[in-house]
Amino acid sequence: MRPRVAYRWIIAFVLFIAYSIQYLDRVKSSVLNPAIAHDIGLTTADIGTGAFLMLLFYGPAQYVSGLLTDRFGARKMLIFSVIVWSAMTMYMGLIQTREEYLWRMAIFGMLVGTEYVPSARVLMRWFNKEGRARAQTVLAWAWIITPAWASVLATQFAAHADSWRIVFFVTGALGVVPLALIAVFVFDRPEHYRHATEADLEYAYRDELEAGTITRGQYASAQKTILKGAGVRFLDLFKNRTYVAVVFVDIVMQITLYGALTWIPLYLSDTFGFKMQTMGWWSGLYFAAGAIGSFISSYMSDKVFKGNRKIMILVCFIGLAPFVVLLGTLQQANQVLLAVALCGMGFFGNMAWGPFLALPAEIFSPEVYGKAMGFVNGAGYFVAAFSAKIFAALVVVDASGHKTYTNGWFFIAFCVVAGIVAASFIRATGRAPTIAIRSATSS
């Protein structure tokens, strides 16, 4: 008789599917930007401003959603997030002017910055340190794998329908799928799931059991017991050097991710003259390679390096830098070098997601993950908002209207080097949650 699949992995894949559908909006908006810009008269600066506004409001929303998640529960926040995502996605198909576009991007960022932290918070409680990086990578596939297929689907759909607007209407309606999945399958904590086995509970609380924070069979009151000895105030977060390093690592990761999402499609269209359908296939290379790199990294972090998150984070940034520089130096359609640059960027650029996203739960506790990760992601997106404006300003337009993106890619390469420095401050070995909390509050 085959062993049953642990319910924690069912939750992980449900959250991946739900988040993937929500992530469609950002992918569609990026790869369809050339068509949107032509239709409503957007300039390169306008697109940069749109990305800036979305990220500017998306960042603070991450921290607020983290606080609300810790207080009211992840499941309620996820249901809210799906509903507002569907509404704002459909609204994108109705915009007619530059002003409407900018307003929509700002409101979208404010309302939809509620999907990641609750999803990650659920996983941090259902998984212990042995599997957290892999669980986070399954969730990260939502923004790594989704662009690989959605960029192709969106461009093909828009080309055959001869309209980019219908893509937003159809995908917005798909919000019913994650809404149903979350309502039926997702539970904030293993003790809330009535079919949870003793093995499920013991696995989820293994770190706390080994640290002596709780005892076996005490799961019904586990949250209260853990929080009683794990009170972490906002300023206490920054007393831990590894946590501060994670904040800067996330900033670089968000700059890199949104640099790829926002600028690779425009770069391929303007520099190499790729048509929309062709550009969709080429954009997908970055994300297809990213899915492979992130899986290898998370497995190595969990199984080979036994929870040492620092190694794969450093590998991510050290490996990424030369490929970003290579992409910035390409000015002609050398398809071999272009494929190498895009695949290399994707493979190395997505390696750090699983390892560093698991760290806040291991530095402190899954019970305060919402607060801790909310600030990390909030800072990452907030700074990434300004990076979109900087990249746009670095794009050079000559007298004939030809655009050169070299300086923008070199800017991202500089940020990646800063990521290497930040990652070097991460402590190489983790600690049990209770010990880490005491260290953070007493140092």
Residue 374 covered by a domain: yes
Asked if 292 and 299 count as a contact pair (C-beta separation under 8 A), the reply is no
Residue 246 covered by a domain: yes
Average pLDDT over all residues of the chain: 86
Residue keyed to tokens 């900033």? 251
Distance (Å, whole) CA 112 – CA 92: 14
Q: Which residue range forms the structural domain that includes residue 93?
A: 7-442
- Total residues found in the chain within this entry: 443
Report the CATH number that the domain containing residue 339 is assigned in CATH: 1.20.1250.20
Asked if 246 and 359 count as a contact pair (C-beta separation under 8 A), the reply is yes
Instruction: Give the pLDDT of residue 119.
Output: 94
Residue 215 covered by a domain: yes
3 state DSSP class of 333: coil
DSSP 3: P
The runs of H, that is alpha helices, within 273-405 are: 276-299, 310-329, 335-349, 353-363, 369-394
Residue 407 covered by a domain: yes
Distance (Å, whole) CA 372 – CA 250: 12
Which of 343, 353, 338, 337 lies closest to 288 in space, CA to CA?
343
Residue 199 covered by a domain: yes
Total domains in the fold of the chain: 1
Residue 237 covered by a domain: yes
Asked if 90 and 104 count as a contact pair (C-beta separation under 8 A), the reply is no
Instruction: Give the pLDDT of residue 441.
Output: 34
CA distances from 88 to 95, 112, 246 (A): 11, 9, 31
Distance (Å, whole) CA 275 – CA 290: 24
Distance (Å, whole) CA 268 – CA 264: 6
Q: How many angstroms from the chain centroid is the CA of residue 15?
A: 13
Q: Which amino acid, 240?
A: N
Distance (Å, whole) CA 118 – CA 292: 25
Which of 155, 144, 53 lies closest to 107 in space, CA to CA?
53
Residue 1 covered by a domain: no
Tens-digit pLDDT profile for the chain (443 aa)? 445 789 999 999 999 999 998 888 777 777 788 888 889 988 878 888 888 888 888 888 888 998 899 888 899 999 999 999 999 999 998 999 999 999 999 999 889 888 889 999 999 999 998 899 999 999 999 888 887 787 778 888 888 888 889 989 998 999 999 999 999 999 999 999 999 989 999 999 998 888 888 888 888 888 888 777 666 778 888 999 999 999 999 999 999 988 887 788 888 888 887 776 677 778 778 888 999 999 999 999 998 998 899 999 999 999 999 999 999 898 766 788 999 999 999 999 999 999 999 999 888 888 888 888 999 988 888 888 788 788 988 988 877 777 889 999 999 999 999 999 999 999 865 444 433 333 333 33
Distance (Å, whole) CA 317 – CA 314: 5
Q: Inter-axis angle of helices 33-40 and 44-72, to 10 degrees?
A: 120
Instruction: Give the pLDDT of residue 1.
Output: 41
